[in-house]
């Protein structure tokens, strides 16, 4: 349980047709999504074809994220049913978002999901998101962070590091 004495919601509605669904280990589509070069490069920083995430990598990643915060599938309504199109972990340090499905990238879903992460952290009493790390080649994620009001506070050879002060509701 990442947040002691707090029950993770099964569903967080973001808007009509877009929601977060509590992680349930149904990871076959997740594995498929992490085989997309855009995902494994922008999310995991992997460029070596021999290191593309396999099932063991995905399971290990999910165990870590599920223990570090509230892990959710990002779901979109398609033909009357919700399908998983990405994942996100609600946590106050470096909350990761990955959009696996190409048709859902570049249309504002990441920004809506990060707004939901901020709202959930605010509801849990957090005042800041720290260490939000974005690879320097991931321009879309940099722009999303900056549009939402994140401040770039540092950098490494490969990353920019952002912080966000959660405003009082």
Report the greatest alpha carbon distance in the chain.
Answer: 47
pLDDT of 169 above 70: no
The span from the CA of 74 to the CA of 34, in Å, is 14
Closest CA to 91 of 62, 120, 112: 120
Number of H helices, E strands in the chain: 5, 8
For residue 1, pLDDT over 70 is answered with no
Does pLDDT of 112 surpass 90? yes
Question: What average pLDDT does range 157-168 have in this prediction?
Answer: 95
Q: What is the pLDDT of residue 120?
A: 97
Tell me the pLDDT tens digit for each residue of 48-81. 988 999 999 999 999 999 999 999 999 999 999 9
Length of the chain equals: 169
Question: In the predicted model, what is the mean pLDDT of residues 80-87?
Answer: 97
Decide: helix, strand or coil at residue 40. helix
**H or E segment to which residue 139 belongs:** helix 139-148
Does the pLDDT of residue 128 top 60, yes or no? yes
This prediction's pTM: 0.94
Examine the pLDDT at 126 and tell me if it is beyond 70.
yes
- pLDDT band at residue 5, thresholds of 50, 70 and 90? confident
Percent share of the chain, pLDDT over 90: 94
For residues 111 and 76, give the distance between their C-alpha atoms in angstroms, rounded to a whole number: 14
DSSP 3-state of 150: coil
Task: Output the pLDDT for position 168.
Answer: 74
> Model confidence at 2, in pLDDT bands (50, 70, 90)?
confident
Q: What pLDDT score does 158 carry?
A: 96
């Amino acid at each position: 349980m990442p947040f002691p004495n707090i029950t993770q919601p099964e569903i967080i509605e973001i808007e009509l047709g877009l929601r977060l669904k509590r992680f349930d280990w149904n990871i076959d589509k997740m594995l498929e999504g992490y085989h997309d070069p855009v995902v494994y490069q922008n999310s995991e920083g992997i460029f070596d074809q021999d290191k593309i995430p396999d099932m063991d990598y995905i399971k290990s990643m999910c165990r870590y994220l599920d223990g570090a915060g509230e892990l959710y599938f990002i779901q979109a309504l398609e033909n009357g049913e919700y399908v998983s199109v990405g994942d996100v972990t609600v946590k106050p340090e470096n909350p990761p978002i990955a959009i696996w499905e190409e048709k859902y990238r570049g249309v504002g879903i990441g920004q809506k999901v990060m707004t939901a992460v901020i709202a959930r952290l605010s509801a849990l009493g957090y005042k800041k998101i720290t260490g939000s790390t974005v690879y320097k080649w991931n321009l879309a994620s940099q722009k999303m962070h900056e549009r939402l009001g994140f401040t770039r506070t540092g950098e490494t050879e490969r990353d920019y590091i952002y912080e966000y002060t959660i405003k009082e509701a």
